[in-house]
Chain A
């Protein structure tokens, strides 16, 4: 980076400097993504199937029409967004509460944190298989425990299966919210809190008027990252239900994977993917615009 000797805040040096900071990222993303994204777009407008490799004619938006008129697509979308909504809501509420509790902890601080973060370190497919057995009516200890109270729940065979899968996601990924909020809390400046306590504000008031607003940027990013990640849920479905009962846990990533690798229709899979990209991008644009209006 060229040394600018004058510490001035002139617009000129900033406008170059800010792009210099960003450039490496753009370069790397461009190099690794230009071909994959281009190719998948190409696929989405053609008719390419692995088991018919010689036919790859341009079909315009026929793939998209096929996808959007397929009732299965809408079932899959509904399941996925419901899954994200349930999982992420639980994760955020629990995550913030547990992070607040942990931030005040004194004894065995690092140990407790390491334990609570542990679920993240197990590969999701193993988490799925683990819970498939733990929640199994005959082989798992949780149903055996519930049976003592005469409770019998079909965790994977009823209308609540999507909820079961969402709760598995909560088990694995609430630690992520905790991790982010804890780090956020640690980076908070101390001054506003001291001032508030001097004024005799109650804990709840301090939380609502100082902690929460200061945490907002971190919390928003946490929700965004978690939602985008939950949108890609695959392993729990794959390891436990294969999308059943019926089609009630068939989610996007699972569906796309099945279309592409199971049914060999790469073009249709790419078309589904791009509809998701468009939907998410529109959602994000709305999300990014609204908080700005609030703050100004």
Chain B
């Protein structure tokens, strides 16, 4: 492969130690808050502030170095590989929560409902011998929900279906923006990105509406047994990732407006787009396994 300049190696990185201090304060503060200490929230917010500042400084240096042309092709490849493996780790993070959902639905709840007792699984007999397994469930103890443990599950074909359309459309708009980038058509790039960002935030808002309805009317909360736990943890972490993705895309949009990218050199755009597609695919899994089936 041709050699374009040299591999850039930064010296004297001050950002990481800031990140460590920020993360430490955030988590120690959060722990103190959970333990009921008054000191907790203040410390936590200071930590959040330091982390946010660290990201500004860190990404700021990377952007300056990139614009100054310090990154050769090989550095670009390193960034790309790094992003791919980061997304892979995120996939496994979601896998843990999908695993919890599948394990509960396919194994734990049926066993508790009496299945497998012929094979020597005696969960049913020893725990709640009157429990019938019907999904969605908040368990034999009817944990959470309204009075009497009642709750309404989230239907697939309301807001969730609209949100599916929104995310799929945003996947198309970001690809259209990429086509614009490759043709050096900045107008198409900016319109496509702006549409993607708008759709992303619209998704988050609609999910907020959905959550509000769940909490205020349906008796469906994070504490509503295993259904509420898996529902809110999966959709919640997904929503968090959509928000992060939308913020990343916003930064990329601002950089596109400033003309940071060219058809040759636009790793940040592609990384954001990959992340966005990843969030999109996770959503499809959620729509099928959490809302629909």
> Do chains A and B stick together as partners?
no
Q: Which residues of B contact A (CB under 8 A)?
A: none
Interface residues of A (CB under 8 A from B): none
